[in-house]
């Protein structure tokens, strides 16, 4: 395929790089990367060794010692150039994202656009790493706080957003003065290799230190564990399951490191009697079936008032029947494949468990076979009548399954149902009632990190801080003041007088 050649993807690729130098290790195993689109092998990747990892982190730390001295606006200029390079490769990189992961071509291009957008955001942020000045209680004293670069940032990303989530972290960390070590999902390593090769050109042209952007593709049990335990990496950003995040948080906290955790979502949309269904139905469908239900912000629960339950259900069945399922490389299709056959098995298992618990499938649930579906990864998005207390509903199933849940009474009852899960990422309400909307956004409303009114749970913009509460991990990435997580904070006091007064009026007189 032309886009593979354009991106420098070979038949066999190496899995470790310091940005300029690629390690030639071949004895740690080889991943054969299959596309869920057609089941064909795209290319293979040699896994990195623990020795590769150690050398890469050493180089990344050496690069940090230089990079932290570069003025932040000049660091921003490098990120500007990276954004420009990504613009040039938007089409082929977007196609690779879609072909390797399985999301629609529109979403593949959109993911690269998100990378470009965060570069633009980070360039501006490079001139806005603000501290605050405070009034001292002591005469002729000035107090302020400031932020300094932190070190090597470890970025562990998941398969569903192969490149965008890395950029959220890496571009902000770069303007903050940090260097980056990326460990991508082994399900989608080719997109990471392609990005590394794109930004290598910027590194060379600007004579930047080797190790500014590093990549390691290796086993979680070896390379991944070394990263978590490595005291040279003060911050680890992780996108993944609750179980993975829980383990990582314990390990990193055990060495007094920091984590940014973006874990499971079990996102709900509340539909009240006053809702505008012309707005609600398209948002619900995209939220539930976009990326084949494999977003952390995917709409998984739909909490509908009993007065409009049947109307909403009928509208959704009609909409689901109109969905086109097929190769994501065809822009006319709405839904592509799940990432692999293991995801399909999880989809089937979840539906069986749901039926065992008393749920009812009202549309979909099939695994598609035959021409165009040879990979075995295509499923029909599914609508299910369920109750919130079902064990399977309480969990996050990474598949296009939407649970329809009925509520009665006022909006507080719906909010109570929404909040009654362990995850707390994204949430939404469709209502034209101002009081319902404001209650949903109040301190006693949605307990999620993202709460929307009259838009869906999915498709967050980079300007706002992204992340969630409870077992979603509490992390924040991307916009707002998320940049502070990538820096160390320092409070400074300067005495420009001739006296030495102590705070709190303490007296400590000595002869001098």
Output the DSSP codes for 326-371. S-TTSTT-SB---SSHHHHHHHHHHHHHHHHTT-EEEE--PBP-ST
**What Cα–Cα distance (Å) separates residue 444 from each residue in 199, 207, 367, 436, 447?**
45, 53, 41, 12, 8
pLDDT in tens, 419-448: 999 999 999 999 999 999 999 999 999 999
In this predicted structure, the answer to whether residue 31 has a pLDDT above a threshold of 80 is yes
pLDDT in tens, 271-318: 999 999 999 999 999 999 999 999 999 999 999 999 999 999 999 999
What element of type H or E holds 413?
A: helix 411-419
Other beta carbons within 10 Å of 341:
16
**What mean pLDDT is reported for the chain?**
97
Tokens (6 digits) for 62: 């050496």
Tokens (6 digits) for 333: 């299709």
pLDDT band at 1 (very low <50, low <70, confident <90, very high): confident
What is the phi-psi region of residue 492: left when phi exceeds 0, alpha when psi lies from -120 to 50, beta otherwise? beta
pLDDT in tens, 379-407: 999 999 999 999 999 999 999 999 999 99
pLDDT band at 188 (very low <50, low <70, confident <90, very high): very high
What is the phi-psi region of residue 158: left when phi exceeds 0, alpha when psi lies from -120 to 50, beta otherwise? beta
Mean pLDDT for 457-469 is: 94
Tell which wins on pLDDT, 1 or 50.
Answer: 50
In this predicted structure, the answer to whether residue 53 has a pLDDT above a threshold of 90 is yes
Q: Pick the catalytic residue: 114, 210, 262, 439?
A: 262
- Three-class SS state of 427: strand
**What Cα–Cα distance (Å) separates residue 307 from each residue in 271, 312, 408?**
11, 10, 8
Residue 511 is predicted with a pLDDT of 84
Residue 459 is predicted with a pLDDT of 86
- Three-class SS state of 208: coil
Q: Pick the catalytic residue: 114, 119, 296, 396?
A: 296
Residue 448 bears catalytic tag: no
Asked if residues 29 and 186 have their Cβ atoms less than 8 Å apart, the reply is no
Residue 51 bears catalytic tag: no
End-to-end CA distance of the chain: 80
pLDDT band at 512 (very low <50, low <70, confident <90, very high): confident
Asked if residues 271 and 430 have their Cβ atoms less than 8 Å apart, the reply is yes
Residue 280 is predicted with a pLDDT of 98
Count, residues in the chain: 512
pTM score, whole prediction: 0.97
């Amino acid at each position: 395929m032309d886009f593979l050649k354009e991106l420098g993807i070979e038949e066999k690729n190496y899995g470790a790089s310091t940005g300029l130098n690629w390690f030639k290790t071949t004895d740690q195993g080889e991943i054969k990367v299959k596309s869920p689109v057609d089941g064909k092998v795209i290319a293979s990747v040699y896994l990195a060794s623990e020795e590769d990892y150690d050398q890469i982190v050493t180089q990344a730390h050496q690069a940090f010692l230089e990079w932290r001295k570069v003025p932040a606006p000049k660091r921003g200029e490098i990120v500007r150039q990276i954004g420009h390079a990504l613009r040039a490769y938007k089409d082929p990189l977007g196609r690779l994202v879609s072909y390797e992961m399985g999301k629609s071509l529109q979403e593949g291009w959109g993911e690269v656009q998100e990378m470009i957008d965060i570069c633009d955001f980070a360039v501006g942020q490079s001139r806005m790493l603000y501290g605050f000045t405070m009034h001292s209680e002591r005469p002729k004293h000035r107090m302020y706080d400031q932020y300094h670069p932190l070190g090597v940032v470890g970025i562990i990303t998941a398969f569903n957003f192969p490149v965008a989530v890395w950029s959220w972290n890496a571009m902000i960390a770069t303007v903050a003065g940090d260097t980056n070590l990326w460990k991508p999902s082994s399900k989608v390593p080719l997109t990471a290799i392609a990005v590394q090769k794109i930004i290598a050109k910027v590194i060379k042209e600007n004579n930047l230190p080797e190790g500014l952007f590093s990549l390691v593709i290796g086993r979680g049990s070896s390379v991944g564990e070394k990263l978590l335990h490595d005291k040279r990496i003060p911050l680890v950003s992780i996108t993944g399951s609750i179980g993975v995040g829980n383990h990582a948080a314990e390990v990193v906290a055990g060495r007094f490191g920091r984590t940014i955790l973006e874990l499971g979502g079990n996102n709900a949309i509340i539909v009240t009697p006053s809702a505008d269904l012309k707005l609600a139905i398209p948002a619900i469908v995209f939220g539930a079936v976009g990326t084949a239900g494999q977003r952390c912000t995917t709409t998984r629960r739909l909490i509908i008032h009993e007065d409009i339950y049947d109307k909403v259900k009928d509208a959704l069945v009609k909409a689901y029947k109109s969905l086109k399922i097929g190769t994501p490389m065809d822009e006319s299709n709405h839904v592509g494949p799940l990432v692999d056959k293991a995801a399909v098995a999880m989809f089937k298992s979840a539906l069986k468990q749901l039926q065992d618990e008393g749920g009812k499938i009202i549309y979909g649930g099939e695994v598609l076979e035959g021409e165009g579906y040879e990979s075995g990864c295509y499923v029909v998005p599914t609508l299910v009548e369920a109750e919130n207390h079902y064990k399977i509903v309480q969990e996050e199933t990474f598949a296009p399954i939407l649970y329809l849940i009925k509520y009665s009474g006022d909006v507080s009852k719906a909010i109570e149902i929404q909040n009654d899960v362990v995850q707390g990422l994204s949430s939404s309400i469709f209502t034209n009632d101002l009081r319902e909307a404001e209650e949903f956004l109040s301190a006693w409303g949605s307990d999620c990190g993202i709460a929307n009114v009259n838009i869906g749970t999915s498709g967050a913009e980079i300007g706002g801080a992204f992340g969630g509460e409870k077992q979603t991990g509490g992390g924040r990435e991307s916009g707002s003041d998320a940049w502070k997580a990538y820096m160390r904070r320092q409070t400074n006091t300067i005495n420009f007088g001739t006296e030495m007064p102590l705070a709190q009026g303490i007296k400590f007189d000595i002869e001098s």
